[in-house]
Every structure is written in C-alpha cells, then in structure tokens.
Structure 1
Amino acid sequence: MGIYNVKKLVVVTGLSGSGKSSTLNILEDQGLFAVDNIPAALLPQLLELLGTHDSAVVNGVAVVVDVRGKDLDRFVTISREIRARVEDFSVVFLDATDEVLVQRFNTTRRSHPLGDGVTILEGIKRERDLLASIRQEADIIVDTSNLDIRSFRPALLKALGSPDPQLTVLFSSFGFKHGIPNDSDYVMDVRFLPNPYYVPSLRDLTGTDEPVKQYIKEQFPDWEVFLDKTVDFFEFLLPQYGRVGKSSMHIAIGCTGGRHRSVAMVEWLELIFEEQGYRVTSSHRDIDKH
C-alpha cells in the first residue's frame, strides 16, 4: 500500500455536545475538505476517492467520526493503518465535563445519540466507555468545558498549532438609489461630501480619477479629519472581529449614484489598509450606472 494523495487528514472525535460540529466548521474555514459523520470503516475509501479532488489534495481533509458511526471498535486499527499512509495525520479528541455536557443537551433540547431510552447522563457515561481507546489514541485533546463561542476558535487553532487566518476586508462602493448591498457587514454613508456630479467637467468621470478625488479634498475642508477618524474607527473595529473568529468583513460605502464619492472613499481606504498589512479587496458595484 502506498501513500495517499491526500497529504493531510484531521479526524475530529469526542463526546457528543463537546463541539465537534463547530470544530469541523473551523477546519473547513481553514480550507480543509470537510465531511461530517463518516463511519471509521469508510475512511480509507474516502481518502482514495478524494485523491483526485484538487482541494482535498492541496488543503487536506477533516472528518468527524463518533458514536453515530456504530463501528468505533474498529477505529484504532483503521487509524493506525491510515497514519502509515498519510503524511500529516492527527486525531483531535474533544471532551467536556459531564455537568457541562448535560447542560448543553438541556439547552438544545436534544436527546443523546445513543438512544431515547437512556438518560442524558447515562448516555454520556456509555459514550465515554466507547471512546476510551480512541481518547488514548488521540494526538490532541481539547477540553471545551470552559470555552464559549468567542474563545472556542482561538483555543482550538492554538491546540492544533494553526494560526488564525488573517481577516480579509472588502471595501465596496454603491449608490443608495440602486439599493444597499445585502451582504454588507457595515454601511457607511458619504452623501454629505461635495458631489462632483454637479461639476460638468467631472460628471462623466468616476472616483477612480484623480480630478474627482482632488475636488472632494478641496471642497471639503475637514477632509483629513474625516479620513483620520474613519481609519481610527476601522483600525479599532477590525481586530475585534478577527478575535471572535470572523474571517471576512464587507464594508459598503454609499453615495447617491455610486460613481464618485463612494468610489473615491473606497480607493483611499483600500490603499491605507493594504499598507497596514490587511488582505484587502475592493469592488465598485454601481460605477458604470447612470
């Protein structure tokens, strides 16, 4: 048996209610090909199948294997065979105290996956017994008892030795008369700025043109104050969203038509935040509309 084309495999397992689905979502955000609830016996076949999938080969695969698969007794043997054929293989075991798990089940009003005929606490105890050998096999054990939504992602990535992905910022311009972008996280209105549309020589230009930018600067005496305060605001705000695990932010900037003032503002902010090391993209949705 040779080496799998898939170079990285992360198997997520552990107690029900410990955060396996959240972990899988985080790994998927990291670029891994994610598969939930796969029986252990099917792991070799999955790796063979994904050996022709570009994303899985390049970025790796993350799977959840747990008591729903009904074949945990085979996991240790299968995982050892896979470990010999995958360059980067790890088993991440998620755990939590019985009290915390019971509380989580009660909060979500879900029954334990081992069946409706047992109490939640009894189901947890049975599950611990079934997972005991797998826990011993784990490369990484993460206790999620004291982790809330904000702290879960950074704690998990730290345990995995993975840096949190850098926040990507999209600055987009739009015209209010064409509607606010539905997917925006923040909307900024710059219709108070002097409007180049009413200057005949500037009307057919856009905010990407230097004469339009120069006009706004000259006609708005507090331009530098406004720009500095805007930059200060987003300099404070963006890291806060990065700390809670948000991987991208869409900041939409609007003027009346979306051709002059909002476009110029996006151009300035894009340049400033690129210089600060952010991954920045920009778009001008309404720049060609009249």
Structure 2
Amino acid sequence: MPDSDDPSHSATAAKPLVLITGPSGAGRTTAINALEDLGFEAIDNLPLRLVEALVDSVGYDRPMVLGLDPRNRDFSTAALLDVIAMLTARADLEFTAVYLDAEPEVLLRRYSETRRRHPMAPAESPELGVKRELDLMRAIREEADVVIDTSDLNVHQLKAEVERIFAPGGRDLAVTIHSFSYKRGLPRNVDMVFDVRFLANPYWEPALRPHNGQDKPVQDYVRADARFADFFDRVLDLTRSLLPAYRAEGKSHFSIAFGCTGGQHRSVTLAETLAEALAEDGQQVSIRHRELQSQQQK
C-alpha cells in the first residue's frame, strides 16, 4: 500500500489506468489505439521494472493505457502478475487489467495471413509459438478484470467493444443487444442469453422467409404469437431491474443476447424490440445482429 505521506498518492480522485495484455495476434494494438482515441495516454511494451516508476511520475494527469505482453524484454508470468497485484493495490489508481483472448486456431490463422514470425518461436512453427504463449499467459488471464474474446471480432468490432467499455462517462452503463443463430453457437462476451425458439417462426411463411426481424411484417408476425407479450414484458422488467444494480457496481457495459434457429427473424425481432424500449427509457443502447452482419460482409 502506498505511503499516505507521499504527495504522489494524495487523496485526490483515483487516476484511470488500463493494462492491455494477451497473446500475440489477439488485438492488443487495436485495443490500445481505441483507448488512445478516447484520450488515454498510450505506452506500449514498457519494461516491467519501470511500470511503478511511471505511475509515480509527476505530471500523470491523464487516463493511461499500458500495453504489456511476452515481447517485453524482462517479461515473465510472475513479473507481470506482480505488476498487476501492485497496480491493483494502489488506492490512487482506478486500475483495470484487460486480457484479450482468441482461440488458438484463430491466432494461428491471423499469423498465417500476415506471414509474420511468431515472437515466441521465431525460427520454429507458428503453432509452437501460439502454444508457448498461451501457456505463459494462462495464469495472467485468470487475474484479469475484463476478458475480451476477439475470435469472432474484426478490427472495427473490437474497437467498438473497447469503446463501449471505456468510453468517457462510461459509468453511464452502455448496453449491447445481440441476435444470433444457435447453429453457430453462443456469441462471446455476453452477460445474459435468452432462447426464443419457442416463438412462431416466420421462416415457415414463404412471404416472410426472405425478410428479417428488422422488417415490420416479420416483427408483426412474431409479436402476434400469444406467448410473445408475457415473455417480452418479463425480459424488459428483468433488464430494467438489473441495469441500476450493475451501474451501482461500476460496470460500464452490459450485453444481452437473443438466439433462434437461424438468427434472422425471431431473435432479431426481440433484439430490436428490447432496444427500442430501453432507448425510450433514455438508456444508451447498441445492437449487433451477428448473422445479418455476417451476410452483409459476404
């Protein structure tokens, strides 16, 4: 714990400090750039032994983001864990450790696409480098305050994810509502998931099949199901009761997902309907329709 007589640790407001780490290829540079765009002072790959001196330095009056990973000259798992513990213990810092993760095959594909040598295996196969790095970082992942799995995120989506979490005034809880297809599995990094496959499926109506849940005819069809109103009212009431609690806990972002068979009709309708209701409450809301976006990118 810092000495209370030290002027650098005065009883002023805690200074935001974000540490970004994770395996190579998971998007650390993109996340750091996103925070820099939000006004953070960015310092990448500072030697670990200099971190404490940096945060003690005179003139540290801006939010700061540090990028640290195994490419640091004095990196070791134990050393980075010590840095995280030291920063967490400081009362003068509002510290957040962010771990960017991705599936091994995704990390490998990203290295294959760039034809770069892996820093953990410069003269060997990228597969070996990915395995070594994930083994080194496993304990660090467990200590992170925020874990973002970037396996399904492109550069723009990762930047948006970081902005939603750390945007100025982030204490005004931001909500993201997802729609998805169970055929492709659950979306990553969501807090609450609802299965809406029990509702009438517009897919079986030939006139509605080409449309999606952003279109009024599909929405009208789904909302006409006798089970819709009661289900939606319960979801809305639950969401309204949870958001103030999460806001009080200092959480900056909350995500809700609706899933159906194809991710085109019912889940999209529910996501759009809930987003509209929350927006009317004055809540900051964004929507991500995974399957619709995937189609648009093809």
TM-score, normalised via structure 2 length? 0.50
Could you say which residue in structure 2 is the equivalent of 1:29? 37
Could you say which residue in structure 2 is the equivalent of 1:87? 93
Q: Does 1:68 align with 2:71?
A: yes
CA distance in 2, matches of 1:47, 1:76: 17
Query: 1:144/1:136 Cα in 2 relative to 1: closer, same or farther (>3 Å)?
Result: same
Residue by residue over 1:60-110, the C-alpha shift from the partner in whole angstroms, topping out at 9 and shown as x without a partner, is 110111001123321112221222224310100001111111111111111
Higher deviation after alignment, 105-114 or 115-124? 115-124
Could you say which residue in structure 2 is the equivalent of 1:157? 163
Say whether the 8 Å CA contact 1:18–1:94 is kept in structure 2. Answer: yes
How does 1:166-177 map onto structure 2 within 5 Å? none
Query: 1:124/1:4 Cα in 2 relative to 1: closer, same or farther (>3 Å)?
Result: farther
Say whether the 8 Å CA contact 1:66–1:72 is kept in structure 2. Answer: no
Query: 1:145/1:163 Cα in 2 relative to 1: closer, same or farther (>3 Å)?
Result: farther
Say whether the 8 Å CA contact 1:95–1:145 is kept in structure 2. Answer: yes
CA distance in 1, matches of 2:9, 2:107: 36
Query: 1:104/1:87 Cα in 2 relative to 1: closer, same or farther (>3 Å)?
Result: same
CA distance in 1, matches of 2:105, 2:114: 15
Could you say which residue in structure 1 is the equivalent of 2:20? 12
Could you say which residue in structure 2 is the equivalent of 1:258? none
Could you say which residue in structure 2 is the equivalent of 1:47? 55
Letter of the 1:78 counterpart: V
CA distance in 1, matches of 2:157, 2:86: 34
Q: Does 1:145 align with 2:151?
A: yes
Letter of the 2:77 counterpart: L
Letter of the 2:50 counterpart: L
Say whether the 8 Å CA contact 2:87–2:93 is kept in structure 1. Answer: no
CA distance in 1, matches of 2:167, 2:138: 24
- How many angstroms does 1:149 deviate by? 2.6
Determine helix, strand or coil for the equivalent of 1:63.
Answer: strand
CA distance in 1, matches of 2:89, 2:116: 38
- How many angstroms does 1:117 deviate by? 2.6
Task: Return 5+ residue gaps in structure 2 as ranges.
Answer: 171-298
Query: 1:149/1:82 Cα in 2 relative to 1: closer, same or farther (>3 Å)?
Result: closer
How does 1:1-290 map onto structure 2 within 5 Å? 1-2=2-3, 4=9, 7-49=15-57, 52-53=58-59, 56-57=60-61, 59-69=62-72, 70-85=75-90, 86-160=92-166
CA distance in 2, matches of 1:141, 1:163: 21
* Count of residue pairs brought into register by the alignment: 159
Residue by residue over 1:133-180, the C-alpha shift from the partner in whole angstroms, topping out at 9 and shown as x without a partner, is 11011000001111113322112223447679xxxxxxxxxxxxxxxx
- How many angstroms does 1:116 deviate by? 1.5
TM-score, normalised via structure 1 length? 0.51
Determine helix, strand or coil for the equivalent of 1:67.
Answer: coil
